[in-house]
Amino acid sequence: MTASRGWRRFAWHAVCLAMLAALLYPIVWLVSSSFKPANEILSSLSLLPQKVIGSNYSEVFEGAAGISVWRFLTNSLIVSLGSVLGNVASCALAAYAFAWLRFRLRGVLFAFMIGTIMLPIHVLLIPQYTIFQRLGLVDTFWPLVLPKLLATDAFFVFLIVQFMRALPRELGDAARIDGCGPVQTFRHIVLPLTKPALVTTAIFTFIWSWNDFLSQLIYLNTPDNYTLPLALRLFIDQTSQTSYGAMMAMSVLTLLPIGLFFFAFQRFLVEGVATTGMNG
C-alpha cells in the first residue's frame, strides 16, 4: 500500500518535471545559445555549447551602430519605472475615491471605468498618436508614461478598489472619531494597508511595460530612444546568421529583469493571478 503510494508520488513528480523540462527548454536553449558562436546557434539542439564564448555579450555592450545595450536598458528602465510610479499613484488615488468616498456620479463613473478594462487599445491608438504628435511628444517617453499617470490602466484601479473595499470599515470610523478627514484617512490608514495590492500593481505594471511592444514601436523612432524590444526588433530584418550571437545575448539581457522579478516576487505574481484572474 505505502509502496504503491510512494511509487505514484514518484511518477507524479516525474511527469511534472518532464513537462516542465519541455516547457522551459526554449529558455534554457536561449541562455546557452547566447554563449555559442553564431554558426552553432541555429542548428544545435544541444544545451551545452561546444565552446563557451563571451564575445556575444561584449559585442552587445560595445554596441551596434554606436549604441550600447546600456542605452536601451536605460530607456526601458525609464519607461517601465515611470509607468510603475504613474500607475501606483494615480490608480491608488482613483481607487480610494471609488472604494471609500461617496459622490453623486460614483455609480456611473465606476461602471464606465469597468467598461474600459476590456476596450481594445487599437480604437484609441490613432487619436492618441495625433494628440501626442501635435504636442510634439512623439519620439519621447511621454506618450508611454503620461497615460499611466492618468490611470488609464483601469484594471489596476479595479484591483485596488477590490482590495480597499475589503478593509475593515471600523478603521474609517475610528479615524473619523480621531478627527481624520478623507485625506488623512487615505494617507495614514488606507494607503499603508493597501500595500499588497500596490505591490501587485507595481510588479505587473513593470513587467507589462517592459514587454510592451506596440506602443513603443509606434512612439519611439530614433535609435537613441529605442527600448530593448525595439533594439531587438532590428535583428529581425537581418537575415544573416552572423548576428544571431548578439541577438541571443540581447534577448537574455531583455528577459533577465523579468526573471529576477519572477524569482523575487513569484508568490505575489501567482497569487495575483489566482485571486484576480489577471492575464499575465
Closest CA to 227 of 76, 37, 27: 76
Check binding of 245 to other proteins (CB under 8 A): no
Given the rule CB under 8 A, which of 62-70, 77-85, 113-121, 193-201 is the region that contacts other proteins? Answer: 113-121
Closest CA to 246 of 32, 71, 63, 70: 63
Closest CA to 255 of 119, 73, 20, 51: 73
Kindly identify the residues of this chain, within the stretch 175-194, that bind other proteins according to CB under 8 A: 176, 181-183, 186
Closest CA to 215 of 117, 155, 94, 132: 132
Given the rule CB under 8 A, which of 8-16, 58-66, 77-85, 192-200 is the region that contacts other proteins? Answer: 8-16
Check binding of 20 to other proteins (CB under 8 A): yes
Q: Which residue in the set 14, 42, 174, 264 belongs to the binding site for other proteins (CB under 8 A)? A: 42
**81 vs 268 by CB, closer to other proteins:** 268
Check binding of 130 to other proteins (CB under 8 A): yes
Check binding of 24 to other proteins (CB under 8 A): yes
C-alpha cell at 76: 526601458
Check binding of 97 to other proteins (CB under 8 A): yes
Check binding of 48 to other proteins (CB under 8 A): no
* x-marked contacts with other proteins along 139-178 as a string, rule CB under 8 A: --------x-xxxx----x-----------x--xx--x--
Q: Which residue in the set 49, 64, 67, 116 belongs to the binding site for other proteins (CB under 8 A)? A: 116
Q: Residue 196, Cβ neighbours under 10 Å: how many?
A: 12
Residues in binding contact with other proteins, number by CB under 8 A: 102
CB of 20 to other proteins, least distance (A): 5
Closest CA to 190 of 154, 148, 161, 150: 161
C-alpha cell at 49: 555549447
Q: Is 256 helix (H, G, I), strand (E, B) or coil?
A: helix
Q: In angstroms, how far is CA 116 from the centroid of its own chain?
A: 20
**52 vs 125 by CB, closer to other proteins:** 125
Task: Look up cell 459622490; give the residue.
Answer: 103
Check binding of 254 to other proteins (CB under 8 A): yes
Q: Residue 270, Cβ neighbours under 10 Å: how many?
A: 12
Given the rule CB under 8 A, which of 53-61, 70-78, 194-202, 256-264 is the region that contacts other proteins? Answer: 256-264
The long-range contacts involving 165-174, CB below 8 angstroms and separated by at least 24 positions, are 165/99, 167/193, 167/194, 172/100
